[in-house]
Structure 1
Amino acid sequence: MGKKFIVKTQRGMESVAANYIKEALSNAEVWTSPMGYSGLVLVESEDETALEKIQEIPEVERVIPVLAEVPAVLDEIVKTAELVAPMIGENETFAVKTKRRGKHDFSSIDVNRALGARIQELTKADVNLSWPDKVVQVEIIGDRAYVSVVPGEEFRKFTPDKIDARKLFRKVTLVQMPYWGDYRACRSFGEKIGRAAQAFEVRELIIAPKEKMDAYELMEFIRGVKVGQESRYQIQMEAYPWKVEKVPISVWDLYQVVRDKRRNKRLLIITDPKGPTLAEVGKKLARDMHYAKEVVIFIGSREGIPRGLFRFADYVVDLAPYLTFATEHGIPAALVSLWEVYEEFLREGEEDSE
């Protein structure tokens, strides 16, 4: 009897992946969308190199070697701890993660708790839900449960060695000149800007006209900002393990923003091709951002920030020499570029303290 593998794909790509698996493993048994669940392929093969061959298929997102297959009954799943225990050292940490598909008289949390307790009893290993050395993966598909032991997730979003970008963005205020012109264009650009500001979870977004403008054009722009912000906020609510707040949005005259922020000694940054490059000022800029109470970044729209304001800025920075960013790219380009120099500053500080 061969080894079994649970193969995960993007939804709708399971049939494509299954066909490539059949080509790579000619004698394998392949079940596409078992029990009707999309994004899954079950594979059984006697080929000793099956894992490597499946991993070479780009449509495959993840391959999980099955250690034990049992009926989807809680007591039966808990019994697999006898097979799992030898694969977890006493000095290692572990976590049980369960994905349940179908109707059962127990929940995924019930599995995690019961199986985890039994493994801990057998191994004396500690549980670590955030950064485990080993993950006991339980995949339940209808009336069958497949148990595996895999290394701690290779492609984690949040790991201890990554510096939280929100360290910087929480004190960033974006000052965005509004887009004007055709109503539909105003709304479209507003959506992109609202989505970008919310995506970075900045301290505040200030919409700042530099002069009198058409009220209805501004109205459509702001409507777009609201729609874009809301769409991104809903995604964040589902995707992030922490509480997400909506970015405050206000309207203020551009020149008054400069007067107020300058008077209150905030760090003012204008992005414009007339300034020096980040490579020239990056280290000093990163240090100033680190110690600043608030970092205020001015971004133009159709036209750049008025040149007369340059002398009131602490920095005028050219993010990409010989290139001019489109209006909707201003926020992402500025924040990603500034984060890179800021992260380098933080890491150099960590090295110096060692």
Structure 2
Amino acid sequence: MKFIVKTQRGLEGVAAGYIRETLPDAEVWASPMGYSGLVIVESEDGNAAERILEIPEVERAIPVLVEVPAELEAIVDTAGKIAPLIKEEETFAVRTKRRGKHDFSSVDVNRELGARIRELTNSDVNLSWPDRVVQVEIIGDRAYVSLLPGEEFRKFTPGKIDARKLFQKVVLVQMPYWGDYRACRSFGEKIGRAAQAFEVKELIIAPKEKMDAFELAEFLKGVKIGQESRHRIQSEAYPWKVEKVPVSLWDLYQVVRDKRRKKRLLIITDPKGPTLAGVKDELARDLFHSKEVVIFIGSREGIPRGLFRFADYVVDLAPYMTFATEHGIPAALVSLWEVYEEYLRKKP
């Protein structure tokens, strides 16, 4: 049987060496057609897949069901061999990874092969949570078609609580970083990337006082760069449409004045507050019932102490530790999600 073995780029040679030791009679081709991160293995050993996966450098070993020339018509014709293996009540999706130049695209393969399989099986297509995945690996002038369990491709499991239930009502109020221009740009990128990663409702950049306009400009440029880089990755990886997080500029004290309204929960992260464990039950309940959750995060300096009395919660996320500026958003949101998820699971 033939396998498409995947590794981290640069480790295909190492993996191939260990595969040859493990399966002495196997034919092993590292970096086929010059493509890194790939090894093609052909072996008659009935336990070849299990033995290959015992090698740490190997990430996946995909058994090949059909090998054909890398031509669209030939690939679509493999549906006749794949379809009998898919039950009518099962959903499926076609995923194609194409390497090399061809007169068709990966989308063409997904569409044409998927349509043919659907005709033969009467099964439904499910791009988010399929029961089975028809995997097409195209390497140069050859195409390798496999049928895999859908679980291997599920980044998002229906049984898990969607973290966006909380993050979509979170407004982050981030004090800007100031100082060296390059540092301002760098920290801005990290903060923009973090805010976009969590898909929050809004990111407000909030200086507490007059600051250098050009330092602020560099910081905001960094926020935009970081946001856009993360948004591109999300758009490719997620099965739903991802919107860019709105970014605003506002005076810190005016944010506090405006956000002190009904059903708005104001949270400040600061070592002077109680630990998260000490307030988690009340905090989780208030997170659930709030229309908007406003989280204030410092930069170089903490949030001014005078604002503490206007907050609903001042929370110490990690006693005796101070987070770096770029870690403030992830630390706060992950911590709050943990207490929120626990509350949801206990809630009748």
Shared fold per TM-score greater than 0.5? yes
Matched, 1:58 2:67: no
What does residue 322 of structure 1 align with?
320
Counterpart-to-counterpart distance in 1, 2:235 and 2:119? 36
Q: Which residue of 2 aligns with 1:206?
A: 204
Deviation at 1:338, TM superposition (A): 0.9
Q: Find out whether 1:135 has 2:133 as its counterpart.
A: yes
- 1:239 aligned to 2:237? yes
Show the counterpart of 2:16.
18
Q: Which moved more, 1:130-139 or 1:75-84?
A: 75-84
Residue 163 of structure 2 corresponds to 165
Correspondent of 2:253 among 255, 263, 268 = 255
Instruction: Give the alignment's TM-score, normalised by structure 2.
Output: 0.89
- Of all paired residues, the percent bearing the same amino acid is 82
The separation in 2 between residues aligned to 1:92 and 1:317, in whole angstroms, is 48
The code of the aligned residue for 1:83 comes to K
Q: Which residue of 2 is the match for residue 229 of structure 1?
A: 227
Instruction: State the SS of the aligned residue for 1:181.
Output: coil
Q: 1:180 aligns with which of 178, 181, 204?
A: 178
Q: 1:83 maps to which residue?
A: 81
2:42 counterpart letter in structure 1: E
1:97 aligns with 2:95: yes
SS at 1:127 equivalent: coil
The structural deviation recorded for 1:226 is: 2.9
Q: Offset at 1:258?
A: 1.1
Alpha-carbon distance in 1 for matches of 2:155, 2:230 = 18
Shift of 1:300: 1.3
Judging changes above 3 Å, is the alpha-carbon distance between structure 1 residues 190 and 40 closer, same or farther for their aligned structure 2 residues?
A: same
Change in 2 beyond 3 A, CA 1:283/1:145: same
1:332 deviates by 0.8
Residue 5 of structure 1 and its aligned partner are, at CA, apart by 0.4
Count of aligned pairs between the two proteins: 348
2:217 to 211, 216, 219: 219
Over 3 Å counting, the alpha-carbon distance change for 1:125 and 1:175 in structure 2 is: closer
Residue 291 (structure 1) shift: 2.1
- More displaced 10-residue stretch of structure 1: 223-232 or 116-125: 116-125
Cα distance, 1:289 vs structure 2: 1.6
Q: Which residue does the alignment assign to 1:37?
A: 35
Is contact 2:128–2:239 with CA below 8 Å preserved after alignment? Answer: no
5+ long unaligned stretches in structure 1: none
Alpha-carbon deviations, 1:84-138, whole Å to 9, x = none? 3443233323233333334445544444444444544554444333222222222
Structure 1's 53 and 171: CA in aligned 2 closer, same or farther, altered over 3 A?
same
Alpha-carbon RMSD across the aligned residues, in angstroms, is 2.4
**Cα offset for 1:319?**
0.9
Structure 2 distance, partners of 1:116, 1:213, is 57
- Aligned-partner residue type, residue 41 of structure 1: V
- Provide the secondary structure at the position in 2 that maps to 1:162: coil
The 10-residue stretch of structure 1 (95-104 or 148-157) with the greater mean CA deviation from structure 2: 95-104
Query: 2:3 maps to which residue?
Result: 5
2:27 aligned partner, one-letter code: E
Matches within 5 A, 1:244-323: 244-263=242-261, 266-323=264-321
- Structure 1: how far apart are the matches of 2:153 and 2:144? 22
